[in-house]
Amino acid sequence: MSGVFSVWAPHASVVELDRGGDRSVLARDLTRPGWWHAPHLIAEHGDEYAFVVDGQGPFADPRSRRQPHGVHGASRIERSEPASDTDWAGRDLVGAVGYELHIGTFTPGGTLDSAIERLDHLAGLGVDYVELLPVNAFNGDRGWGYDGVFWFAVHEVYGGPDAYRRFVAACHERGLAVVQDVVYNHLGPSGNVLGRFGPYLSDGDGPWGSGVNLDGPDSDEVRAYIIDNALLWIEEYGVDGLRLDAVHALHDSRAVHLLEELAERVDDAASRLGRPVTLIAESDLNDPRMITAREPGGRGGHGLGAQWDDDVHHALHVALTGETSGYYADFASLDSLAYVLENGFFHDGSYSSFRGRHHGRPIDRSTTPPSRLVVSSQNHDQIGNRAAGDRLTATVSEGRLAIAAALTLLGPFSPLLFMGEEWAASTPWQYFTSHPEPDLGRAVVEGRTNEFARMGWDPALVPDPQDPETFRRSTLDWSEPGGENHARMLDWYRRLTAIRRAVRTAPGFRDDFAAVRAEVDASSGLVRLEFGTVRVLAHLGDDELAIGSEPAASIEEFFGAHRTGDTLVLGPDGVAILVS
């Protein structure tokens, strides 16, 4: 594998290639304005190199495929070739069941190869795709991955690029698609060298780090940098979709938004590859334009495949826990749960007390399938961004965990599970870092403590992200699924994914908001959800249930009285499924 050393540095006067202290001056590439190259120096697989810009450096390559010595070290040339598992036909991820995991804490080994050893568990669980939290190179050994600085390189601690290829191939062998979480809205604070080469970054930093220049001078190449990175995961690593982090933080004033341009390029790649590729946006905007089809002349939406819907999580979380602080306040009424189940967004132009303004836009229920909304009862953000990183397991009963699973998996949306949720894992998932810079570590602790004040959480509960024990506490305990209570919950999840698959493959199934019926009785805490051939009956109240005017002897007796000829599937105390 060989090629030519090249780099984009549009305002540099001199760019040099550094190979172990041996420097060579690069020439301007007359075919690509702003680019420099060394046409007579061959880049071979395994070569280590860096660039010196106007005497400053050496700096790693912004498009580095591997950082074997960390983000402050030299880059290494890696092979660049199409994904090898050409037998994989792919799968449409709209309506699919996803499973979100973090490579570092999914297994005690914390690598892509050790994660492969647990893929049979996921296939047996009945999920359709695995969604990996960011794996791009970041500073330090431990972290969530959202402070990455080399987007083209796989984090070395996880195993590097070859391990990533093995992981994707192993998933596909088991019928599991792969979605990669990517961060294009900011870069991490340590090891970010992009500004040394050119105007990659926007003026001023956002809440998470340096923003990206999407619409200023020289932004054409910056956008190409992002799109090329997206295509790398799809075409070379063979992933089936990308989860686009916090797209509301992409500041783009152009007539053609980056998301629209990206969706068009990805759709073209999918057509060439002959398999579906899905873009999933994490968006705080409650804007259905994300998932509205593109139209000629820019009259449509961005044309993404799906988007996250936090409103469903918030309504369900409040119904299960009674917690109404911070952004949960608007969801205090049980009616909000019925509203989001039937309409997708709660804030669809309504007033948001947390934001202090009106927020969102209604979904066109007549044209938008509900499966384009990705929902969860737990995910990395909603657990890890709590003060103590506590799961629902630490707060609610087994029966309520079962209700959360039933409403999520059998509802009209696309469900996403968080690792360990399926067996009611007792391990927390906390925010952890390993910044080598002491000042940066202290700043992270102070920032998170101040952020939690708005939610009314006790700052004393916030663990030190820099403490290695915070990371160790967050690692799944794979002995738990064998325990009685954990095994019972795991069996419930497997039954629910099987019911979901049967319902959605039944003749006459409609992926349509018009097919959804949700009712709640705030006085008794009863919730009823109908979708397709399934009905979920759940009891979220504190009072004893009654049949007519008489108390029910048991939950089984109460829900059994609602069979009306349907098949009754009883779960842990408090929930039943009726299947026609």
Under DSSP, the state recorded for 129 is E
Residues designated catalytic:
245, 282
Q: Can you say how many angstroms the Cα of residue 43 is from the centroid of all Cα atoms in its chain?
A: 35
Residues 461, 394: Cα–Cα separation, whole Å: 14
Residues 138, 495: Cα–Cα separation, whole Å: 39
Give me the helix-helix angle, 484-504 and 398-409, nearest 10°.
Answer: 20
Q: For tokens 């690598």, name the residue.
A: 111
Residues 363, 373: Cα–Cα separation, whole Å: 10
The binding site for substrate comprises 243-248, 310-314, 380-385
Nearest to 412 by CA among 470, 363, 445, 467: 363
13, two tokens: 């006067």
Please answer whether residues 210 and 248 qualify as being in contact, where contact means their C-beta atoms are separated by less than 8 angstroms: no
Nearest to 576 by CA among 395, 405, 338, 387: 405
Residues 491, 494: Cα–Cα separation, whole Å: 5
Q: With the CA atoms of 442, 444, 446 and 452 taken in that order, what torsion angle do they form, in degrees rounded to the nearest 10?
A: -160
Positive or negative CA dihedral for 142, 148, 150, 153? positive
User: What secondary structure does DSSP assign to 102-125, as a single string?
Assistant: -HHHHSTT-SHHHHHTTHHHHHHH
Q: Is 549 left (phi over 0), alpha (psi -120 to 50) or beta?
A: alpha
Q: For tokens 């990805």, name the residue.
A: 266
Q: For tokens 């936090």, name the residue.
A: 310
Residues 26, 5: Cα–Cα separation, whole Å: 9
**47 Cβ neighbours under 8 A, 6+ residues apart:** 19, 76, 77
Under DSSP, the state recorded for 156 is G
Q: Can you say how many angstroms the Cα of residue 105 is from the centroid of all Cα atoms in its chain?
A: 15
The binding site comprises 243-248, 310-314, 380-385
Length of the chain: 580
- Helix (H) or strand (E) segment spanning residue 185: none
Cis peptide, bond prior to residue 58, ω within 30 of zero: yes
**76 Cβ neighbours under 8 A, 6+ residues apart:** 46, 47, 48, 49, 64, 65, 66, 67, 68
Q: For tokens 């880059």, name the residue.
A: 75
Burial of 531 (0-12, 13-18, 19+ CB in 10 A): buried
CB burial readout 545-565, b (16+ within 10 A) else e: beeeeeebeebeebbeeeeee
Residues 28, 440: Cα–Cα separation, whole Å: 37
